[in-house]
Each structure stands twice: as structure tokens, then as C-alpha cells.
Amino acid sequence: MKPSDTSLTARHVNPIIIMLGILVLAMLMTYLFESGEYQRDGRLVIPGTYQTLEKDPSFTDLFKMAHETGTGEAQAVSISGALLAIPEGLERMAGLIFMVLIIGGMFGVLQESGAIDAGLEKLLHSVRGNIYVLVPALMIVFSAGSTFLGLASEYLLIIPLMVAMANRLGLSNVVGLAIVAVAVKAGYIASVTNPVPLGIAQPLVGLQIFSGASVRFWFYLVFTLVGIGFVLIMIRREGFDTEKTWEVDGTALVLRHKLIILLISVGIAFLVYGSNRWHWGHAQLSAYYIGLSMLLAVVAGLGASRAAEAFVRGMKKILMASMLIGVASAVAITLEHGQVLDSIVHGLTGLIGEGSAQVAAYGMFGSQLMLDFLIPSTSGQAAVSMPILGPLGQLSGVPPQTTVLAFLFGNGITNVLTPTSGTLLAYLATAQVGWVEWARFVFWLWLTFIALALIMLTVAVNIGF
């Protein structure tokens, strides 16, 4: 199947319909599941404190106005409540949404400058058009940044460049996205020294932060190599011919293009430094991208009006997709309003037995896979689940490092595919790839990662990791 055919098929289901369907499912869960809550110490759940909340749901409640309340009981979410969750989700995720739009605008300026096309020509000429050399090298760099430094949203700036490179070689947008996304996700699954999940998960089970890195490094190599192999296979299936001579222009870049490429390279490097050194949030990152866009426009000599028009064109390309980020957030908000999220967490812990350590490790992994769909935030999932999994692991004979490993694998693997992940949706938006198209592309790799995780958990338990 050619790239164009795959894209056309994937567009049969509009992503808005998918997200609204998931939102309806979340609303119905507030009627079908009991409501309950854990006591918390800040963000952290206190184990053993779960209690059921009184709730008397009726499907006639579907038609209540959202502001109607009962006697202080937990309440199922009405249709109007679910609809109100959408603007609330847009507001909650506004920082990420605006950042994605600004990145799209900045890439519009880059495209208008002509430096991207010229730079890609030079890059492809340096490897003689051989993407089988270029892709593994790029993916290793991307995955290393993810697994060692926790880089994820920082790669949003890279994705349009990889998509442009894939298009230049006659490949689809989804391949350009995969070069970044698969590498980043593979790195995140193993998280050798990733401070985002390890900084929360390991102390909660009594471990030193970053301990066990040597074992996780070997797991990282396996996930990354499998990810690279998968992307190369998909490239070949799209029809890329290694014997074909690509007519790439190897002439020297003009000075203006060299300066733009140098500026974007320095800009990316300082972005990584600044976001880690000063812990930049979405607002600071958005301001940084705006400033970088202005500098690029000046160096490119576009002029104010031409640069502004290019910026707006870039934003328009990803407007609808970026809005999906807010709609996805409405799913979590609906579950929170119905107070069923803690009940689901409590129910998932029932998957973990107190007998075989092997079975318990699998149960931990399975519970994290499902929980990540509802709590796609890595730090949020760690804060909710690790205080519960730690004691359960001790009762089941699962070593603390393996408990952390089950969390890392479950969180990382689900985030490859879950449509409620803000980061994944931001990736899809900047690549202009629909979720259905991405899911079809990556599904078999997702299953492979699950199988690898089960094997690695088996090894971890047997060696007492």
C-alpha cells in the first residue's frame, strides 16, 4: 500500500469523533462504576485509605444540568457536564495547545526561508540519500535524550523537520513522525536516568534515585533496537528503494541558509539546557519559540508582513489537531467529576496477587497499562499508583526495582498509543498525522513492546532486580 492510500484510509474516521466517543464512554463509566476516594498527602495516595462514596445514579441524571447538585453525595456526570468538561479541558491544557500552535507558526517561518529544503538536500547528499544510515543515527540520538534526560516535549521542534525529510524522500508524514516518536517512546519505556518518572517512583518504594540504571540500560538497548528495526521495515514497506538514486543537490548552502541552520541548532541546544536548568513550563517555552521565530525571520530577511503571514499559515495547519489535546483532557476531567478515578485504581490493584512474584509483577504491569489510559501524566500516575504498588510488591515478593520497572513499562508503552496523552497528541498535531493513521502504523510495535516487557519482567524477578 502506498503512503497516500494509507493516509486516505486512515481519514475515514475523524479524530474528533474518536475523542468524543471516548468522552461519552468516560461519562457512562461514572454511572456504571462506584465512586470512591483515597486520602492523600499532597498529591500522593495514602495506601489503605480507600473508601466508597455514597452515590445513587440514575440514567435520568444524564439530562440534568451540570450545576444541579444533590446532598453532598458523589454524582454521575450528565451530558451537559461532559460537554462543559470540553472547555474546561481546553482551559486546563491551554499552555500546551498554544505552544503547539506557536511551534507550527515557527516552522511556517522556517519553510518560508527556504533553509529547511536546502539543509535537507545537503544532509541527504552527505549520506547519498541512504535513509538506512540516517534514520538509525537520528533515532539513537533522540532516544538517548529521552532515556537519560527525560526529553519529550522538547522534540516538538524536531518533528516537522523529520516530516519534511520523509516527504523529500517520497515517504509519508507518519514515517517522519515515527523517527522521533518511536525513538522517544523507546527511551521513555526504559528510563535509564530519566528524572521525570524516577524522581517520584523510586523514593516511594525506598530506592535511591537513578539506582538500577545499569540493568535498565540493557533494556533500553533492546527497546531502541527493536524500534529502529520496526521503522526501517515500515520505510521499506512504503516502497523506499535503497538501490534508487535520489537526485539530491550537493551544492554548498548560501550564507543566509547556513546562518538559519546554525541559529536553529543553537536554539535547540539552548532549549534543552534552559528547560532542564530553569524548569521551563509551557508559557516560558512558548515565549522562547516566539523569540526564536522573530530571530529566524530577521536572519531570513523575510520582512514583517511576509514573516507574519508565514507564521499564521503554519499555525493554521495544526489548528484542529492541537484542539484535540483539550478534548482529550475532558476525559480525565469527566472521571474526576464523577469521582470514579480512585475506584478504578483500587479495582486495578486487584489484578495483583500476593502469591507468585512473577504473576504479581505481570499484574502490576497490566494495571499500569490500563491506568495510563486514564492518567497519561507520568508524574501523576506515579503519585497515584506507586504508594499502592510498593506495599503490594513487598507482600508478593516483587523486588522494589522490579515494581518501578513494571510502572515504567506500563506507563511508557501505553503512551505510545493512548489517545488521551497530551504529549502524543501534540506530536500528532505538529506532524499533521491523525490518531487512527498513527495507531494503524504503530500497533504491531506496541504489541511487540508488551511482549518484550513481559520477558524483561520475568528476567528482573528471576535475577532479583
Condensed to tens digits (0 to 9), the pLDDT of residues 352-403 reads 766 688 889 999 999 899 888 888 878 788 888 888 888 888 878 889 999 9
Nearest Cα residue to 405 out of 179, 191, 174: 191
185, amino acid identity: K
Contacts of residue 403, Cβ cutoff 8 Å, sequence gap at least 6: 205, 361, 364, 386, 389, 390, 393
Looking at residue 124, its pLDDT comes to 67
Contact (CB, 8 A) for 159 and 177 = yes
Looking at residue 129, its pLDDT comes to 62
Contact (CB, 8 A) for 393 and 356 = no
Enter the DSSP assignment of 397.
T
Nearest Cα residue to 461 out of 311, 347, 359: 359
Instruction: Report if residue 454 sits inside a domain.
Output: no
Q: Phi/psi zone of residue 433: left (φ > 0), alpha (ψ -120 to 50 degrees), beta?
A: beta
The answer to whether residue 5 scores a pLDDT higher than 70 is no
Q: How far apart are CA 273 and CA 268, in angstroms?
A: 9
Contact (CB, 8 A) for 102 and 283 = no
Q: How far apart are CA 200 and CA 205, in angstroms?
A: 9
**Residues forming beta bridges with residue 52, ordered by sequence position:** 36
Q: How far apart are CA 396 and CA 358, in angstroms?
A: 9
State whether residue 26 is helix, strand or coil.
helix
The answer to whether residue 179 scores a pLDDT higher than 90 is yes
Number of domains in the chain: 1
pTM: 0.82
Instruction: Report if residue 249 sits inside a domain.
Output: yes
Q: Which ranges of 338-377 does DSSP label H, i.e. alpha helix?
A: 341-348, 357-374
**229-277 pLDDT, tens per residue?**
999 999 988 876 544 434 555 556 788 888 988 898 888 888 878 877 8
Residue 211 belongs to what domain range? 94-317
Contact (CB, 8 A) for 119 and 163 = no
Q: How far apart are CA 261 and CA 233, in angstroms?
A: 30
Contact (CB, 8 A) for 343 and 33 = yes
Instruction: Report if residue 449 sits inside a domain.
Output: no
Please state at what angle helix 159-168 crosses helix 422-431, rounded to 10 degrees: 40
Q: How far apart are CA 374 and CA 378, in angstroms?
A: 11
Contacts of residue 421, Cβ cutoff 8 Å, sequence gap at least 6: 328, 376, 415
Instruction: Report if residue 413 sits inside a domain.
Output: no
**51-96 pLDDT, tens per residue?**
888 888 887 888 887 655 444 578 889 999 999 999 998 998 888 8
Looking at residue 440, its pLDDT comes to 94
Instruction: Report if residue 356 sits inside a domain.
Output: no
Contacts of residue 237, Cβ cutoff 8 Å, sequence gap at least 6: 1
Instruction: Report if residue 332 sits inside a domain.
Output: no
Q: Which of 50-54, 166-170, 225-229, 286-290 has the lowest mean pLDDT?
A: 166-170
State whether residue 392 is helix, strand or coil.
helix
Q: How far apart are CA 211 and CA 404, in angstroms?
A: 11
Cell of 281: 513550563
Looking at residue 249, its pLDDT comes to 54
Cell of 272: 534543552
Cα of 143 vs its chain's centroid, Å: 13
Q: How far apart are CA 405 and CA 208, in angstroms?
A: 14
Instruction: Report if residue 334 sits inside a domain.
Output: no
Handedness of CA 95, 99, 102, 104 (dihedral sign): negative
What's the first-to-final CA gap in the chain, in angstroms?
44
Q: Which of 5-9, 183-187, 343-347, 428-432 has the lowest mean pLDDT?
A: 5-9
The answer to whether residue 349 scores a pLDDT higher than 80 is no
In 25-103, DSSP assigns E strands to: 35-37, 40-41, 44-45, 51-53
Cell of 236: 521499506
Instruction: Report if residue 301 sits inside a domain.
Output: yes
Mean pLDDT of the residues in the chain: 84
Residue 271 is inside which H or E element, if any? helix 255-277
Q: How far apart are CA 372 and CA 384, in angstroms?
A: 11
Q: What percent of the chain has pLDDT over 90?
A: 33
The count of other CB atoms within 10 Å of the CB of residue 462 is 11
Give the pLDDT band of residue 224 (cuts 50, 70, 90).
very high
Cell of 208: 535511591
